[in-house]
């Protein structure tokens, strides 16, 4: 497991990637909230997405990658990858280019966010570098396309180790691996074998395995039975969004992509160009991702102050300080201001 930064109470450095659409608004809000804690962060702005394509001629400029390599940490807004034209996903390029092998997505029920579920508290750990997302595909003959699912023992073992170390380090009690080894006996079979081998080294953490189609049904029936979920790349992508739907959607969950050399924290929702510039965007996911970044820095007190602040805002009955997507009448600035006021009172 990639160790978090142990540096505290000094000046931290982080690359700030505003992204596209509502990205600059929500990332700007997250920066304001983080700065309000008093934690000193040297922000180095980097470009990515359609905006970078216009200014740099590429979706992911080398200078942005170089900055992340140098400073080890980035806070990223949603970026748009144009459909068609041969453009590779920015997120996939970042994860593979920087070897950010672990995607971490905490999902929990929040007071004030109304859904049919009230007891969701799980973390999705997703292998981030291979599987079907390796992007190796070709047309065998006209009308027949073949895609290769790349699975290696090294990557499967590494992500399994990360999941169990995360569980142990965060006082989690159980890791459940989702797979389809009954059909893909070699590919998913290897993933499952590696998870089983690693599980034997962690007798203090319960281990469970579940065929993914059954797992999807069980999550919907009773999400409270799950704690840490361990999945390959494609399954993790699907399940993390499914679980976000249990607690209110992608706008209320954070995300992180972590490797040995650093980490990129990001709100995983889209760039929502239809509301960009209107002051309507909910910055919560970006702020929560910033909280994960603070914890990575070791600034746990500041992280908790922000968490307490947004919990208070979300529990408030005042509709003017909540954005419309979560039942309020306010905008981005109203929500951000309310959080900052509570952060500064602590």
pLDDT score recorded for residue 82 = 75
Per the prediction, the chain carries an average pLDDT of 93
Asked if 245 contacts 143 with a C-beta cutoff of 8 angstroms, the reply is no
pLDDT score recorded for residue 4 = 53
Cα–Cα distance for residue pair 95/131, rounded to 1 Å: 13
Q: What is the mean pLDDT of residues 302-309?
A: 96
pLDDT score recorded for residue 84 = 58
> Is pLDDT above 90 for 38?
yes
Q: Is 318 an active-site residue?
A: no
137 and 208 both lie in a single domain: yes
Q: Is 180 an active-site residue?
A: yes
In a domain, 2, yes or no: no
Q: Are strands 11-17 and 40-45 parallel, antiparallel or unpaired?
A: parallel
> Is pLDDT above 90 for 153?
yes
- Which 3 state secondary structure label does DSSP give 195? helix
Q: What is the mean pLDDT of residues 304-323?
A: 92
pLDDT score recorded for residue 85 = 58
Q: What is the mean pLDDT of residues 41-46?
A: 96
Helix residue ranges, H only, the chain: 23-36, 50-56, 62-71, 90-97, 153-169, 187-199, 212-221, 233-247, 284-297, 300-315, 332-345
How confident is residue 81, by pLDDT bands cut at 50, 70 and 90? confident
277 and 163 both lie in a single domain: no
Specify the number of domains making up the chain. 2
The range of the structural domain enclosing residue 296 comes to 8-106+248-346
274 and 289 both lie in a single domain: yes
In a domain, 111, yes or no: no
269 and 155 both lie in a single domain: no
In a domain, 1, yes or no: no
In a domain, 234, yes or no: yes
Q: What is the mean pLDDT of residues 49-75?
A: 92
In a domain, 293, yes or no: yes
222 and 150 both lie in a single domain: yes
Q: Which of 119, 213, 222, 318 is catalytic?
A: 213
Task: Report the 10 Å Cβ neighbour count for 341.
Answer: 14
Q: Is 334 an active-site residue?
A: no
156 and 79 both lie in a single domain: no
227 and 262 both lie in a single domain: no
Domain termination residue (choose one: 231, 247, 263):
247
How confident is residue 95, by pLDDT bands cut at 50, 70 and 90? confident
> Is pLDDT above 80 for 51?
yes
Backbone conformation region of residue 172, classed left if phi is above 0, alpha if psi is from -120 to 50, else beta: beta
Whichever domain contains 187, its CATH number is 3.40.718.10
292 and 210 both lie in a single domain: no
DSSP code, position 323: B
Q: Is 213 an active-site residue?
A: yes
In a domain, 16, yes or no: yes
> Is pLDDT above 50 for 74?
yes
Domain termination residue (choose one: 247, 280, 298):
247
254 and 226 both lie in a single domain: no
75 and 19 both lie in a single domain: yes
137 and 233 both lie in a single domain: yes
225 and 259 both lie in a single domain: no
Q: Which of 20, 180, 188, 334 is catalytic?
A: 180
Domain termination residue (choose one: 190, 222, 247):
247
Prediction pTM value: 0.91
């Amino acid at each position: 497991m990639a160790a978090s930064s142990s540096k505290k109470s000094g000046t931290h450095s982080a690359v700030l990637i505003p992204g596209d659409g509502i990205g600059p608004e929500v990332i700007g809000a997250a920066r304001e909230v983080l700065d309000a804690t008093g934690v000193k962060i040297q922000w180095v702005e980097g470009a990515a997405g359609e905006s970078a394509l216009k200014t740099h001629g590429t979706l992911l400029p080398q200078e942005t990658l170089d900055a992340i390599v140098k400073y080890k940490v980035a806070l990223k807004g949603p970026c748009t990858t144009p459909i068609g034209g041969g453009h590779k996903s920015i997120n996939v390029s970042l994860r593979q280019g920087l070897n950010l092998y672990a995607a971490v997505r905490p999902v929990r029920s929040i007071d004030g966010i109304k859904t049919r579920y009230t007891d969701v508290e799980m973390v999705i750990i997703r292998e981030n570098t291979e599987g079907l997302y390796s992007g190796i595909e070709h047309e065998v003959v006209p009308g027949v396309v073949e895609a290769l699912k790349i699975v290696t023992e090294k990557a499967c073992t590494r992500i399994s180790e990360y999941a169990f170390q995360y569980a142990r380090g965060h006082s989690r009690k159980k890791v459940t691996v989702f797979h389809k080894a009954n059909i893909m006996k070699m590919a998913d079979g290897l993933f499952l074998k590696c998870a089983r081998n690693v599980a034997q080294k962690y007798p203090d953490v319960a281990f469970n395995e579940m065929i993914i189609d059954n797992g999807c049904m069980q999550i919907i029936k009773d999400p409270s039975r799950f704690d840490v979920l361990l999945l390959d790349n494609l399954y993790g992508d699907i399940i993390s969004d499914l679980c976000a739907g249990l607690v209110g959607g992608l706008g209320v969950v954070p995300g992180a992509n972590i490797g040995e050399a650093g980490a990129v924290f990001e709100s995983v929702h889209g760039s929502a160009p239809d509301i960009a510039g209107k002051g309507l965007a909910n910055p919560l996911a970006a702020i929560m991702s910033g909280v994960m970044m603070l914890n990575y820095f070791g600034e746990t007190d500041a992280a908790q102050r922000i968490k307490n602040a947004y919990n208070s805002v979300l529990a408030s009955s005042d509709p003017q300080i909540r954005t419309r997507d979560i039942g309020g009448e306010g905008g981005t600035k109203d929500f951000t201001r309310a959080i900052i006021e509570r952060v500064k009172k602590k």
